[in-house]
Structure 1
Amino acid sequence: MRGIGFLSFGWWSAAPGSKVRTAGDVMHDTIRLAEAAEDAGMDGAWLRVHHFEQNTSSPFPLLAAMGARTSRVELGTGVINMRYENPLYMAEAAATADLISGGRLQLGVSRGSPEPAADGPATFGYPLSYGDTAAEDSARRIAEFRHAISGAGVAEPGPSAHGRAGEKLPIQPQSPGLSERIWYGAGGFDSARRVGELGMHLMSSTLVLEATGEPLGVVQTRQIEAFREAWREAGHAGEPRVSVSRSIMPIVDDLTHTYFNPYLERDLMGANRDQIGEIDSTVSTFGKTYVGDLDKLERELRQDDAVMESDTLLVTVPNQLGADFNRVTFGALAELRDRLSR
């Protein structure tokens, strides 16, 4: 493992103790999270994207602002539900944000996950065509998006077009290299292999859509191996990257002890472990929470096969506690990365 970043759900609420009580609060505080991560020596600032909920939903304005206020950290999404997206408009927005950041975007996309709206994409104006599946619809949108950001022409020129006759017009602006920084959030073995075949990077979260009774890291590692094998077999250039997400709570001072000690007590009693459950009508494996001092975290994470097989570890953060609180844990996470990289 060579990089560590945070993954923020971007929740806001007026609950007691929340430091981000409004939508405006969470936007400004997320920018501060990115600054804090960079100051602490972390490598990435990634956002969850969900619609019809009190959390971040439209990532590109926020990514552009984060890019303008930082200079080094990767800026990512984990993940964008492509069924909500116009691929060409998204290509313009993504290129704009990437240019502002100086080419630091790492965009995770997928077909989406269960959500509160009965049919959110249709409400946004994108109903499924007859006989289509959500996976097929999102796959077409991803392909169109990747085609557009590659610089290929997508529109027939009109009478006032300023270009060479007969050539289709590409979207503008273009951001060189963005097409090589697209990730897919895969949940199962087959989808992980398909990601490798298509030449996208692999994102795997704190759950996988398989349940063998084995630890999450073991199941996830098989998916990582399948992804890398498919990438090689397809002959793609460059290095296939893998990120995995984990819930990690470093206890480094009195305040982190106050917030995280209940999780530590559950852990010490043996109640904190990987779980088998159901999501989207699929039996799945859900990962446990890692909590404790840095020695304990290092020891346990070294035993997590998928963490050690990945190149990027994304840590879900309690964003409602605010950037000032998370700035302390970011320093601990950067040190944890250094330990795991040795």
Structure 2
Amino acid sequence: MKKFGFLSFGHYADVPGSRVRTAADMLRQSIDLAVAAEEAGIDGAYFRVHHFARQAASPIPLLAAIGARTSRIEMGTGVIDMRYEQSAQLAEQASAVDLISGGERLQLGISRGSPEPALRGWESFERIPGPGENAIDMARRQALELLRALEGEGIAPADPEQAHDRAVLTPEGKLRIEPRSESLRQRIWWGAGSRSTALWAAEHGFNLQSSTLLLEDDGRELGDLQAEQIEQYRDAWREAGWDWEPRVSVSRSIIPIVDEESERYFGIRAQAERRDQVGVIDGVLARFGRSYIGSPDQIVEELRQDAAVMAADTVLVTVPNMLGVEFNARLFESLAKDVKPQLG
């Protein structure tokens, strides 16, 4: 059965119509969204990570709280910007979240991040590229360091006068991170916005989160571009010789029109957003996916024509979190009852 999760950008603003006016509102409601999604039968609760903006930014405490409040639903990110992270610290914190939630639910999406309001904001977090590196190189290096830490590689030299716990020593006499979730290594995802990045993810053993946009527009629809990316990724995975099956997700804006409120907010957009959008990001032509808005039956038929949705094992549905928990809970119920079973 194909998995369906929600993806929240974690927006908050004190504006007319918003039910998420403060950061505290956003964080508490994010936990409630995960609980509502689990109760409805949705498979995953995922959160975007953006710094220096009125959006979700610090996922580890949020995911820990969700892990303690729920029992089944997967929890994840899409994505953590590795330009801002210290690898060993993230490995420790993510392992703790995974262990709190039972040891099998965390799905950690990471990447080099997306355009942001800050100019080289990672430098304000004291993350500086090394000699000969740019910020993208640094993000990839730190991502691979994260994998090695989760695999149990020694990080720090042991102090012979203090290091008495031999359980965390490697054969080389170095200390591993603790706590460590040993299975988490196979649940790290890379957010890829191009075919070449997807190939890099396969080479290094990351699951694939195909981005909400692709930086390689050639006139084809996003679903067709992503389907090609997914096929190339899986071929590269097999060539790399990894001994487990990877997972692949795509993100889509899906709004079932199920009542007067959803019709009032989104009905007028159903026709206007039926096509992909094309724009320029970082000087590169990029393609953004269309929205799927309409009756559940109509949405199912349209999603069946989306080659990437059918190729992926996981669909992340972006949700209008500023409309509050009750609105999104009804959306979850329709996705779980009317859409997910038809696309299995």
The alignment's TM-score, normalised by the length of structure 1, stands at 0.96
CA distance, structure 1, for counterparts of residue 164 and residue 33 of structure 2: 43
Alignment partner, residue 22 of structure 1:
22
How far has the Cα of 1:152 moved from its partner? 2.0
Counterparts in 2 of 1:73-84, with a 5 A limit?
73-84=73-84
Q: Hey, what does 1:139 align to over in structure 2? A: 140
How far apart are residue 10 of structure 1 and its match? 0.3
Task: Please give the alpha-carbon distance, in whole angstroms, between the structure 2 residues aligned to 1:235 and 1:326.
Answer: 41
Which residue of 2 is the match for residue 112 of structure 1? 113
Question: 2:35 is aligned with what amino acid?
Answer: E
Q: Which residue of 2 aligns with 1:301?
A: 303
Matches within 5 A, 1:141-290: 141-158=142-159, 159-164=161-166, 167-266=173-272, 272-290=274-292
**Secondary structure of 1:138's aligned partner:** helix
Distance in 1, Cα, partners of 2:66 & 2:203: 32
Report the equivalent of 1:292: 294
Displacement after TM superposition at 1:128 (Å): 2.2
Matched, 1:337 2:328: no
Taking every aligned residue pair, what percent have the same amino acid on both sides? 52
Change (3 A) 1:28 1:316: same
SS at match of 2:60: helix
Inter-partner Cα distance in structure 1 for 2:278 and 2:28: 37
What is aligned with 1:49? 49
2: distance between equivalents of 1:306 and 1:89?
A: 34
Quick one: which of 310, 315, 318 aligns to 2:317? 315
Q: Distance in 2 between matches of 1:132 and 1:169?
A: 27
Post-superposition, which runs of at least 4 consecutive aligned residues in structure 1 deviate over 3 A? 163-166
Offset of 1:151 from its aligned partner?
1.9
Report if the CA contact (8 A) 1:79-1:185 is conserved: yes
Provide the C-alpha distance between the structure 1 equivalents of 2:205 and 2:176, rounded to a whole number of angstroms.
22
SS of the equivalent of 2:268 reads helix
Amino acid at match of 1:277: G
State the SS of the aligned residue for 1:177: helix
Q: Post-superposition shift, 1:247?
A: 0.6
In the alignment of these two chains, the number of paired residues is: 337
The offset of 1:15, in angstroms, is: 1.1
SS at match of 1:127: coil
Distance 1:246 1:265 in 2: 16
Name the aligned partner's letter for residue 76 of structure 2: G
List runs of 5+ in structure 1 lacking aligned partners. none
Aligned to 1:67: 67
Q: CA deviation at 1:206?
A: 2.2
> RMSD of the TM alignment (CA)?
1.2
C-alpha distance after superposition, 1:276-328 (max 9, x if no partner): 21112111111111100011100100000000000000000000011111000
Is the Cα–Cα contact under 8 Å of residues 205 and 245 in structure 1 kept in the other structure? yes
CA separation in 2, counterparts of 1:148 and 1:176? 10
Shift of 1:193: 1.1
